[in-house]
Amino acid sequence: MHRRLAQTLIEHPADRPAGCEHNCRFFSDAGCISKAEMESLGAAVRFARNETIYAKGDEARYSYKVVEGAVRLSHIFADGRRQIVNFFLPDETFGIELSEEYSATAEAVGDVVALRCPRLCISHLTEGDPDISQKRLAMFAKSLAAAERHVAMLGHQSAKERVASFFLALEMQRRTGESHTLDLPLSRQDIADYLGLTIETTCRALSELKRLNIIAAPSRRRIVIRNLEGLRALAEGA
């Protein structure tokens, strides 16, 4: 695998960001490198709304970290149905695969800026730095935990509980100060596809949460959590 990736980088030197040759920043914390600095290193890539970043079955040549925007990971079935299996927000990584092919399709929800790092560079970094190797293992563990939660949600929760769990997860990821205001990264249809519901059922569950005064929805892309403990209890099936 390394030989094939190495040959790819030899044949296509532009695929290797300069940042990977000089202290790769892929595993740096969010505040360690600015978008302008990434662009000067040649490590930042941009994707337009709904653009495919990679498709299921493509060779897993790169891993990514979201800088701006949101990315959805999905499976498309033969009949056209779509199941969103995960989504990624700023400072979250995706495309880190154990196999040589991507296991799902990644798409930009809106305009996205991401840090891209060739898989070969990541392999070299993890081999030579125990701290980076530990961070990579933590990324795998986080991805596995998210997949387990998603399976449990789809298998056991009601529609109302699924929507509550979704907002609670966003609250943990994207809380703005103490106001509990969430800017939704996904459309209503995306949320429905992630929760394994129809859009009609998703909207009814949202309306029920508003009726219970657990949330308010000042706009289609903004949610205010009015009762965090009530939301948590609902998500946990209490």
pLDDT digits (tens, 9 = 90+) for 71-83: 999 998 888 888 9
Percent of the chain with pLDDT over 70: 76
Q: How many domains does the chain have?
A: 2
Q: At residue 38, does pLDDT exceed 50?
A: yes
Most distant pair of Cα atoms in the chain: their distance: 60
141 plus 170 within the same structural domain = no
The length of the chain in residues reads 238
78 plus 6 within the same structural domain = yes
Q: What is the arithmetic mean of pLDDT over 131-149?
A: 72
User: What is the DSSP code (8-state) at residue 29?
Assistant: -
- Stronger pLDDT, 226 or 4, i.e. the higher one: 226
102 plus 187 within the same structural domain = no
Domain span holding position 176: 157-235
pTM of the full predicted structure?
0.75
Q: At residue 166, does pLDDT exceed 80?
A: yes
pLDDT of residue 128: 67
* Position 107 confidence tier, pLDDT thresholds 50, 70, 90: very high
* Position 221 confidence tier, pLDDT thresholds 50, 70, 90: confident
Q: What is the CATH number of the domain that holds 195?
A: 1.10.10.10
For 54-80, what is the HEC assignment? ECCCCECCEEEEEEECCEEEEEECCCC
Q: What is the arithmetic mean of pLDDT over 130-156?
A: 74
The candidate with the shortest Cα–Cα distance to 230, out of 158, 168, 153, 155, is 168
Domain boundary among 148, 171, 204: 148
144 plus 165 within the same structural domain = no
Q: At residue 63, does pLDDT exceed 60?
A: yes
